[in-house]
Chain A
Amino acid sequence: MSTLIPRMASRAGRRPRNAELLLLVFSVALAMAAYAAVGLAHDRRLPTDMIGYGGGLAVLFAVAHLALRRLAPDADPVILPAVTVLNGLGLAVIHRLDLAYADRARRAGDSLPPAAAPAQLTWTAVGVVLFVVVLLLVRDHRVLQRFTYTAMLTGLVLLLLPAVPFLGSTINGARIWVRFAGFSFQPGELAKIVLLVFFAGYLVAKRDVLTLASRRVVGIDLPRGRDLGPVLVAWAASLGVLIFERDLGTSLLFFGVFVAMLYVATERLSWLLIGLLLFMSGSYVAWRLFAHVQLRVDIWLHAFTPKNMNDHSYQLVQGLFGMGSGGLLGNGLGLGRPDIVPYAQTDFIVAAIGEELGLTGLMALLVLYAIVVQRGLRTAIGVRDSFGKLLAAGLAFSVALQVFVVVGGVTRLIPLTGLTMPFLSFGGSSLVSNWVLAALLLRISDAARRPAPVPGSAPTGVPSAAADDRTQVVRL
C-alpha cells in the first residue's frame, strides 16, 4: 500500500476534475442523442423540447460536477460521468416507453397513462441535490463510523417498515412499499446504504474477534462457534425480508453484501464458505416452504411451457423475445416493441435496452456498470482507513450484486427476483438512493486519491501511508 498511493496520486494528476468535465460533456451528449433518437423514431423529427431537456440535464450534472470540484476535488473522475450516462439513458428509454404506452392507450381509446419520464427527471434533480447535500454534510467519511449503531437501528426500521400494518403496502406481490400521506416509497433502497454504513462500522470494530480461528480444517481456519452470531443475525434478517415482505431480491442482496464485507474485513475464506452454506440452506428451506419462491424457480426452469407462457412467465418470455428480436445491433431506439414486456420501465428496462440497442448496447451498459463497480473497489483498495475500505467495497459490491441479480434474472441466467437497475430504472426511491450511494463513494474516493501527505507531516486523525490497518482498529 505504501508504494501504491504515491503512484495513484501521480498518475491521476492534479486535475481529475478536468478529465471528469470532458467525460461529462460526452455523457450528456450521449443522453441527448438517445433522446433525439427516440423522437426521430417516433415522430420522424427531433423532439421540440430537446434543447430544454438537454440543457436541464447539463445544468444538473454541472451542479454535481461543480460540487465535486469544490467539495471532493480529488475524487474519481469516471464515476460521475458513468452514472450520468446510466441516468440519461434510463430517462431516454423511459420516455420512449411513455410514448409507446400513450400510443397504445390512444389506440384502445383509454385515457392516457401518466408519463414517467418527467417524474424521473424530477427525481434525478432530487438525486443530484441529495448528492450535493451528502458531499456537504459528510466532509470526511470516517465521521459516519460514529453512527454505526444509529445506522443499524435506522436501517432495520427502514427495512421492516413495509411489514408494519397500515403503513406498508403490497404492490405486485412484494410488500416493499410504504405509503404515507399519499406518497409511496421503497425504504429498502435507502436501508441498503444505511445498513452498509452499519456493516462497515460493525466489522471494523469486531474484525479482530471474527478473525480468530478455532480449528483448521483442510487448510481453512474455522471461526469460533460463538462468533457465528452476527452472520446468523444477518441471515435471519434476510430470511425475514424474504418471508414477511416477499422480496427475494433485497433478501439476496443484503446477505450477499454482508458476507462479502465479512470476508473483506477478516480475510478469512471460511466466512465465505459459511455464508454460502447458509445461503444454500436458506434457499432450500425457502424453496420448500414458500409457494412464491417455488413459483419463481418454476418460471425460471420452465419458462417456455405453454401454461407458464400465458401467465407466470409471460413477462420473462416476452423480455427474452424482445432481446432475441434485438439481436446483435438492436432494432434501434424507438423502433422495437419493448412496451409488450410488462414493467419495462422498472425491472425489465434491461430487456427494453437489449431489444432496441441490441447485444451491443446491452454489453456497453454492463461494461459501464462494471466500470462503476471496479472504480468503487479501486477506491476501497486505495483508501487508507479500514472503515472507508469496507464501506466503499460494500457500496461497490452492492451495485455489482444488484446488477447481477437483475440482469441475470431478466436474461434467465438465474431466477427472477425483482430489483431495479441502479440509476437506470424508473423509480424515485431507487434513483435518489443511488445518487446518495454515488456521493458516498466519491467522498471516500476523494480521501483515497488525495495526494500522499509528505511523510512525517500527516495531519492528525489521518494515519500515515505506512500505517497498518491493524493499528487503526486498535486505536478506535
Chain B
Amino acid sequence: MNSPLRRLSVAVLVLFGLLLLNANYLQVVRADTLRNNPRNPRIIAEEYSRQRGPILVDGKPIARSVATRDRLKYLRDYSQGKLYAPATGFYSLVYGSSAVESESNSVLAGTDASLFVRRVIDLLTGEQPQGGSVALTLDPAAQKAAFDGLTALGARGAVVAIAPSTGAILALVSTPSFDPNLVSGHDPVAVRAAYKRLSTAAGQPMLDRALRQTYPPGSTFKVVTAAAALESGRYTPDSAVDNAPSLDLPQTTSPLPNENGAPCSSSGTATLTVALENSCNVSFGKIGLELGADALRTQADKFGFDTSVQVPMTSATSRFPTNPDLPQTAQSAIGQFDVRATPLQMAMVAAAVANRGVLMTPYLVSEVRGPDLSVLDTTTPKPLSTAISPQTSAALTTMMTKVVTEGTGSNGQIPGVVVAGKTGTAQQGGGRTPHAWFISFAPADSEPKVAVAVVVEDGGGRAEISGNGLAAPIAKAVMQAVLGQR
C-alpha cells in the first residue's frame, strides 16, 4: 500500500501547489487591480485615513479635513456649509461625493497623477500622504449677497454671477440650501437619516438649481431674440417694431397680448429699443415670426443653448425647442413655450453681451495646488464661442442699459454705475405662479466686471410678481458686492 500512499502524497503536494500558485496570482499579480477596484470599500477607508486637501475660496478653506479620534481619521468640515453647498457638494462615507468634492476628488484625495512624485517622496520619507488643494473662483461677498438675497425672500431660487471677460464663476447659489456636514459625518446612521430627510424635503435642498435646473426664461430671452434681430442685419436698435396691444398668431385663434394689454409705446410707434425697455411681447413675437425658429435657435445655440458645460460639474442642457410651429415660434421668441434655460445659461447670455459678444467658458476651479502649495494647474480662460458681433454687443448693451434706466428694470440701478439688464416674468402654465428673472451686467459703460442671472422660483410665493420687484434687487446686491460697493 505504500506506493499509492506515496502517489497520494505527491497528489496532495500538487493540490497545495495549486493553492500556493493561486494565492500568488491573487496577491501579487492581481493585487493592484483588486485593491483599487472602486467597489472595494477599503479604498474609502483609506481615503478617510489621509488628510484630504481643502477647497479654498479667496484663500480661506470652505471645506477642510480635521483630525478626529474615531476609526476614520479625518472628518470633512464645511465652515459655511449652506452658503457654499452647490459648489463644494458633500463628501459622504455612505453616499459618495458630489460637486467639486467629486469632480476634483483625485486632487483632493492625493491620488491624482500630477501628485505622483509627491506620493513617492511621502512613501520614502514616511510622511502621511496628503491631498492637494482646490481654489475656487467664487467671490465671497458676491456669494453671500446672492445667498442672503434669496434667503431673505424665503424663496426657492438660484443666482449665478460670472466675470464676463474670463468666464470665472463669482457666485453660485441655490436655495433652499443644505448643510453638507450633515451627510459627510462618520456616523452612517445619522448620515442616512439626514440624507433621507434632505432628499425627500419639499424644497429639494440638495438640488443645485443654478446648474442643474432649467426654467422657462421668459422675457430675459428677449435679449437673445433682440441679438438675433440685430445680427440678421434687418434690424437696428431704432427699427420700428409692431406696436399693437395684441398679436394675431397664424394657425390659432388665441392671440399673443402684451402683459398689460396696452400698446408697447404710447407715442404710436415703437422702436426695438423701446420694445426691450418695456418688454413688449407683441413686438418680440412678431420679430420671432419674421426671423423664424431656425435663426432664433442658431442665436440661442451661440449663447450656449442645447449643449451642456462642465464647470467642472456638468450643467443641465438649456433648450430651444425643435421644429416649433408658427405660434410656438412666437411664444419661443419671448422665452415661453418649450424654451428652458438654467440660471447659468442666462448668466452666460448676459456675460457674452458684456464681453463684446465673446462667450467665455464658465469655470469654477481657478487653481489646483499640491500639498506643498506648489501650483499644479491654473485655469486659463477660454472662449466658448462668439455669440454676437462687437457691434451687436454695443447696441444691445445700450438697449439693456435703457431697460434699467427707463424701462422695467429700475431696481437694478446702482448709483454711480451704469447697469445693463433685462427683467423676466416667466409663465409656467397650469395656473402656477410665474418665475421672476433678472439678468444684468455692470459696469456697462466700461469693462464689465460682473454678469449675473437671478431666478426666484414661483415668484417666491408672492402675489405681486415681477422680475424687477423680486430678482433685480438681488442682482443689484451681487453686482455691488463684486464692484466693491458693499
Nearest Cβ in chain A — how far from B4, in angstroms? 5
Residue B15 lies at the interface, judged by CB distance under 8 Å to chain A: yes
Interface pair B27/A326, CB less than 8 Å apart: yes
Q: Pick the residue among B1, B9, B30, B187 that contacts A265 (CB under 8 A).
A: B1
Closest A residue, CB atoms, query B12: A400
Q: Which residue of B lies closest to A336 (CB)?
A: B42
Q: Which of B32-40, B320-328, B449-457 contacts A (4 or more CB under 8 A)?
A: B32-40
Is B67 an interface residue, CB under 8 A from the partner? no
Complexed CA–CA distance, A90 and B203 (Å): 54
Binding site for A on B (CB under 8 A): 1-6, 8-9, 12-13, 15-16, 18-20, 22-24, 26-28, 30-35, 37, 39-42, 45, 70-71, 186-189
Contacts of A393 in B (CB 8 A): 5, 8
Q: Which residues of A contact B30 (CB under 8 A)?
A: 324
The answer to the question of A288 belonging to the interface, with a C-beta cut-off of 8 Å to chain B, is no
Q: Closest Cβ of chain B: how far from A259's Cβ, in Å?
A: 11
Verify if A279 is at the interface (C-beta below 8 Å from B): no
Provide the residues of chain B in CB contact with A381, threshold 8 Å: 2, 5-6
Instruction: Select one of B12, B27, B32, B33 contacting A354, CB under 8 A.
Output: B27
Asked whether B1 lies within 8 Å of A337 as measured between CB atoms, the reply is no
Query: Closest 6 A-B residue pairs measured CB to CB?
Result: A324-B34, A359-B27, A321-B40, A413-B22, A327-B31, A400-B12
Contacts of B4 in A (CB 8 A): 263-264, 267
Tell me whether A321 and B35 are in contact (CB under 8 A).
yes
Contact check, A325 vs B2: say whether CB atoms are below 8 A apart: no
Q: A107-B186, A366-B16 are in contact. List 7 more A-B contacts (CB 8 A).
A: A263-B4, A328-B31, A354-B23, A374-B12, A381-B2, A400-B16, A403-B16
Interface residues of A in 372-429 (CB under 8 A from B): 373-374, 377-378, 380-381, 386, 389-390, 393, 396-397, 400-401, 403-404, 407-408, 411-413
A358 at the interface (CB under 8 A from B): yes
A358 surroundings in chain B (CB, below 8 A): 27
CB < 8 Å: which of A264, A323, A362, A404 contacts B8? A264
Number of A interface residues in the complex (CB < 8 A): 56
Main secondary structure of the interface of A (DSSP, over half): helix
The answer to whether B5 and A108 touch across the interface, beta carbons within 8 angstroms, is no
Q: A residues within 8 Å of B by Cβ?
A: 1, 103, 107-109, 260, 263-265, 267, 309, 317-318, 320-328, 336-337, 340, 354, 358-359, 362-363, 366-367, 369-370, 373-374, 377-378, 380-381, 386, 389-390, 393, 396-397, 400-401, 403-404, 407-408, 411-413, 469
Most chain A Cβ neighbours within 10 Å, of B19, B20, B186: B19
Q: Is the CB of A264 within 8 A of B1?
A: yes
B42-A363 in contact (CB<8A): no
A359 in contact with B23 (CB, 8 Å): yes
Q: Complex: how many Å from CA A419 to CA B194?
A: 41
CB<8 Å pairs between A and B, sample of 30? A1-B2, A107-B186, A108-B188, A108-B189, A109-B189, A264-B4, A265-B1, A321-B37, A321-B41, A323-B34, A324-B31, A324-B32, A324-B35, A324-B40, A325-B31, A328-B27, A340-B42, A363-B24, A369-B16, A373-B16, A374-B13, A377-B5, A377-B8, A377-B12, A386-B1, A390-B1, A401-B15, A404-B19, A407-B19, A413-B19
Known contacts A103-B71, A327-B31, A469-B1; A320 and B26 CB within 8 A of each other: yes
Q: Is the CB of A362 within 8 A of B23?
A: yes
A401 neighbours in B (Cβ, 8 Å): 15
